[in-house]
A and B are shown apart, each in its own frame.
Chain A
Amino acid sequence: GAGVSQSPSNKVTEKGKDVELRCDPISGHTALYWYRQSLGQGLEFLIYFQGNSAPDKSGLPSDRFSAERTGGSVSTLTIQRTQQEDSAVYLCASSLLGTSGRGPTFFGPGTRLTVL
C-alpha cells in the first residue's frame, strides 16, 4: 500500500481481556517495528522484525506481550490479560531494509488502546 496501515484505530477493552493489533507495512519493506507511546511521553521500542524473524524482542514489557509476522508482511501484536498500564498508542513502522544506515523509517497512524 501507499503507507503503513494499522487496525483498529481505537480499541477499548476491559482489564484481563486479550487484544490483537494489526499492522500492514509498506509493500516490499522487509523491516518492521512496533513502538508504543504513553500519553505525553516519548516512544518506547517493543520489537523488530526482519522478514518473519524477530532478532530483537528486548522491548517487550512482559510475557503477556507477543508478536508475529507472516509472509514477510502483516504483523500482529497480541497483549494477553491486559492491564491498565498497557493503555497507550501502539505504533507500527517499516523500512526498506533496516535503519542501520540503509533508509528511512515510516510510521503508521497507530492504535490507541484503552484498558478500563
Chain B
Amino acid sequence: GIQVEQSPPDLILQEGANSTLRCNFSDSVNNLQWFHQNPWGQLINLFYIPSGTKQNGRLSATTVATERYSLLYISSSQTTDSGVYFCAVPTNFGNEKLTFGTGTRLTIIP
C-alpha cells in the first residue's frame, strides 16, 4: 500500500514563529487531507486539498500531486496550535480507506 511520511517528527517553536510541515507520499493520489489532533485527542480537519494551494487564516496548504508531496504552513504560531498534525491520503486510488502519515508533533512555547 501507499506509504506516507511526514517531517519533521517533532517541532518546538516559540509563540509567534512560522513553520512548515511536509508530507511525502509514495504513489499517485486524487486527494489529500490535513488534520490537527489537539492535546485532548480531537481530530480536526484543516484542509481537503487534492492539488494547488488553499488558505484559512494563519494556515495554508499546498499539494503538488505530480511530485507527491504536500506542505502545511503555520504562521504566527499560537499555543493553541500545539498538537499532532497528520496528513492522510486514500490507501489506493478510488479507495475509501485513508492512510495516515506518521505525524508531526508541534509544541508552541509561550
Contacts and interface: CB of A to CB of B under 8 A. Distances in A.
B25 interface: no
A43 B96 contact: no
Contact of A42 (B44, B45, B86, B95): B86
B94 interface: yes
Interface of A: 31, 33, 37, 42-43, 45, 48, 50, 55-56, 58-59, 89, 91, 93, 98-101, 103-107, 109-110
Interface residues of B, number: 25
Contacts of A100: 30-31, 90, 93-96
A103 B98 CA distance: 13
A60 B103 CA distance: 23
B42 interface: yes
Contacts of A37: 41
Given A58-B97, A101-B31, A104-B33, A109 B48 contact: no
Interface string B70-110: 00000000000000001010110111111011110000000
A107 B42 contact: yes
